[in-house]
Amino acid sequence: MKRTATLASVSNRPQHGCHTPEAMEGLLKETEAWLRRAARMGAEIVAFPEVYPQLGSPDMYKAVEPHDGGTLPRVQELCRELGLYVVWPRFESRPDGCYNTAILVGRDGEVVGRYDKMFPTIGEIEKGILPGTTCPRFETDFGRVSMAICFDLNFREIRDELRPDPPEVVFFCSMYRGGVQLQEWALDLGCHMMSAIGGELGRLVDPGGQVLKLSTYESLLVHRVNLNKRQLHMDYNWEKMDAMLQQYGPQLTFEYYTQEGRFVVGYEGERDVDEILAEFGLEPINAYWSRARETRRRKLAERTAP
């Protein structure tokens, strides 16, 4: 598996919706233009904002699309033609009800999977949108990805599910920008966060919580990243840097985040960075937190022992 990828997101509000055949045709022409531009810029995956087909409709809840129809078939055709993954968020109806979902479509045009917004707003639920129950990790040919949608960003339950085994990228499809919350998620999970906003100011955040790129006047954000990275705590780890560099040289990268007491190790060669970390005995950050909790538990137990 190659571990570098060119990620892209579109942050804008479309001029057309999906409430009439004519509107849908206009929306799909806009979408095609974004995807062709992204493909020409080398993008491998492109994410769109929350409920993108419905954003230009007079009443979003009356423009819910069928789960196997609407705009999806044309997006699938474009994925096949352009060789892209696409994250396509929308309101869709299924036999059991309506969902605010993000669909991951593969390069072959097949649906890789769906993420259903776990925390719809109170207003959405009152309008009949059903909550999702889990946040899956989806395999791509460059790494694992997950999705989160808008209001989700406020709830730790999703991060708690992802934290034991985080994906390489979380795509955040939203109507609000997320701001420093995106950086908080990236720092907590140790993964890239890429946003697609129904306005402007989409952003790409690195596994140390720093903003790599921000979309402003240009709605399309495209950036190449190394996904073969791992975030670590400095304690018991940072002093091993020289020995690692002696073995692996400049293909090994170190990015330090001093204020947070963490650093990110990346490798640009063929080996998985986790293999290199294990070779030098570096402690994964979740293992370090667990060891700290266990040390605390033992000390408290000693104090209360008869």
Sign of CA dihedral 192, 195, 196, 201: negative
Give per-residue pLDDT as tens, 231-272.
999 999 989 999 999 999 999 999 999 999 999 999 998 899
- Residues 144/45, Cβ–Cβ less than 8 Å: no
The answer, yes or no, to whether residue 1 has pLDDT greater than 90, is: no
**Sequence spans of domains, the chain:** 4-227, 230-291
The predicted pLDDT at position 218 comes to 86
Closest CA to 102 of 126, 82, 132: 132
Q: What angle do CA 80, 81, 87 make, to 5 degrees?
A: 55
Helix (H) or strand (E) holding 266: strand 262-267
Look up the pTM and report it.
0.95
Copy the structure tokens of residue 223.
């950036």
| Residue 28's pLDDT band (cuts 50, 70, 90) | very high
Give per-residue pLDDT as tens, 203-241.
999 999 999 999 988 899 999 999 999 999 999 998 999
Closest CA to 13 of 32, 39, 31: 31
The predicted pLDDT at position 303 comes to 85
Closest CA to 81 of 52, 39, 53, 112: 39
- CATH (residue range 4-227): 3.60.110.10
Give the residue-averaged pLDDT of 176-188.
96
